[in-house]
Amino acid sequence: MDEKTVLVGRIAPTVKLPKQGSRVVPLRQAAPLRVDVAGGGPVGLAFACTVKSLLGDGVMIRVHDRRWMRQGDRVVWKGNAEGNNRREQVVTLQSNVWASLPLAVQQRLFAPGKFSEMWPLGPDSPASKGRPRNIKIRWIEDCLLDMAQDVYGIELVADAYAPPAKFDGLHVLAIADGARSATREAFSAQFGTPSRELFSVDGSPLDERVLGIRVTAKSPDEHTVPLTVAQNRFLFNSLGGGFINMRLTAEEASEIVALGESGPVSCIGKFGCTMRPSGNGRFVCDRHRSVFKPSVDKLSYLWPRILDGLRFFGVGVADVVGINSFTLGMQQMSKFTAQLAPSTFGFLLGDAANSLHFWPGRGLNTGLKSALSLAVNLQKRWRGNAFRAADFAQHEGIMQQLQYREKSRAWTTMLMPDSEGTPRGIEDRIREGLQGPADRAALVKTLYERVLEIKKRMGDRMGPLATDEWYYGRVNAMDTRTLKVMVESGAWITREIGGEEVEVPSAVPAVAPEQPSNRGLSLVG
């Protein structure tokens, strides 16, 4: 052999370099990696863009989503008219996550005015990378869908994913079609059946009902952080407005009813519809024209409690732009990686892999970590030949770590321990607060001191907070019953849920350490 063989680039096409003076031999390219993605939500799209940014022409990717449609030569999100309720929630991305996304993606996502920094530094947002960033999930989806088409040239299929009878030449199927993944279900023989056993109380799976109240905010986002962290009934995540989430008891949840002309209709409780203001303090569903019962029921227990929650964050009913409701529960997966055919491996990503309680705000972070881990693993292991199970040992290990870390955190939040360490679910705490005698002065003092303590603790990890007087005003504006619920619900158990985080590989090339300067050194005497 009179040629040297060298490997060029990361995907290793073989390049034959001729001996000096001999004929140039054409390059022999390795076959591209073929990837299908089921589900083009934030995780499916982030995965596709990241793999493409890492492997370039060495990969062919196709992403399917049923919430898309074709418009001329582009793929766009379906809207209300096509039965798609775009999600409006604000999510908090930790800097260990956002700083690991491809640089082009970071630049597009974090355009001025499109994000805010509300939460403090912490183990998953170290000072070296920056603060967590609040961003609208809808904006993430819009940016990634555009980038998939305009920057990365990814094939987009505006339709539901249907598992094929045979995986002709497909190497990777990434399953990112959300918590109720039909694709995971179709491959349950390979992935196993998720179990709710570990997330049950007295033999029944624990589900929580939460009300999401979308508001436009008047106070700076970060001023509300100590109010959120001082109790567990309401959580406000904002980007100049956002969702005030409210945890409910089963009795309160039974009040989440939509009324049609001739009685209750399936709407907010069943289809996740959003009830919007329609004058006179009424909230109505665009789709079913039904009314949110608590907003018109003078005997409602729930409505005054909702209004109190708004007041806590300095928001009035006129600032509410929508109300919806959802149920949160968790299940344990046995594995996240499975061989689906001799040369095809399947991977569960995002909510299809780990659907979490969102109170500690980790669902999308965990989903993006899973996408980054698989993308970097593929880049490392793809050599143009069929994969073997061993190629994914590292990725599967990270997925199992994520499941352990994130579900332990979320479960601890769902069943918060009391001062003796005995688990006490949020419902019990709220019920306790709603009953019995209450000493208003003592409740105001307890909650106000908690808020000030948290304000002091967070002081050096975030921007300037509001004055003590402003916080006193917020606490003192509460009805006594709401105060008692807030005090009983307890402050966030930051010690119990904090600690080391699962690190995943980054898609951003490491910056080469600076070469030590030779100035002043001389090799010759």
Q: Does 161 bind ligand FAD (CB under 6 A)?
A: yes
**450 phi/psi in degrees, rounded to 5:** -60, -45
Q: 86: burial class by Cβ within 10 Å (0-12, 13-18, 19+)?
A: middle
Got the DSSP string for 384-427? SS---GGGGHHHHHHHHHHHHHHHHHHHHHHT-B-TTS-B--HH
Stretch that binds ligand FAD, among 63-71, 289-297, 373-381, 446-454 (CB under 6 A): 63-71
Q: How far is the CB of 75 from ligand FAD (least distance, A)?
A: 12
> Counting contacts by CB under 6 A, is residue 187 touching ligand FAD?
no
Query: Is residue 413 involved in binding ligand FAD (CB under 6 A)?
Result: no
Instruction: Return the number of the residue (38 or 478) whose C-beta is nearest ligand FAD.
Output: 38
Asked if 492 interacts with ligand FAD (CB under 6 A), we say: no
Nearer Cβ to ligand FAD, position 157 or 267? 157
Q: If DSSP states are collapsed to H, E and C, what string results for 304-334? A: HHHHHHHHHCCCCHHHEEEEEEEEECCCECC
CB of 60 or CB of 174, closer to ligand FAD: 174
237 binds ligand FAD per the rule CB under 6 A:
yes
Q: How far apart are CA 435 and CA 422, in angstroms?
A: 21
What is the rounded distance in angstroms from the CA atom of residue 145 to the CA atom of residue 75? 8
Assigned token pair, 175: 């399953």
Residue 67 interacting with ligand FAD (CB under 6 A): yes
Contact 283, 275 (CB under 8 A): yes
Q: 175, 162 in Cβ contact below 8 A?
A: no
Query: Least separation, in Å, of the C-beta of 93 and ligand FAD?
Result: 7
> Among residues 259 and 355, whose Cβ is nearest to ligand FAD?
355
Work out whether 350 is an interface residue with ligand FAD (CB under 6 A). Answer: yes
Residues contacting 429, CB < 8 A, separation 6+: 232, 416, 485, 488, 489, 490
How far apart CA 432 and CA 173 sit, in angstroms, is 48
- Dihedral (CA of 86, 90, 94, 99) sign: positive
**Between residues 158 and 475, which has the closer beta carbon with respect to ligand FAD?**
158
For ligand FAD, give the closer residue by CB, 42 or 58: 42
Segment contacting ligand FAD by CB under 6 A, of 1-9, 85-93, 246-254, 481-489:
85-93
Residue from 35, 42, 131, 231 binding ligand FAD (CB under 6 A):
42
Per CB under 6 A, does 186 bind ligand FAD?
Answer: no
Tell whether residue 396 is a contact of ligand FAD (CB under 6 A): no
Q: Which residues bind ligand FAD (CB under 6 A)?
A: 38-44, 64-67, 89, 91-92, 137, 160-161, 176-178, 182-183, 212, 237, 243, 245, 326, 350-351, 358, 361-365, 367
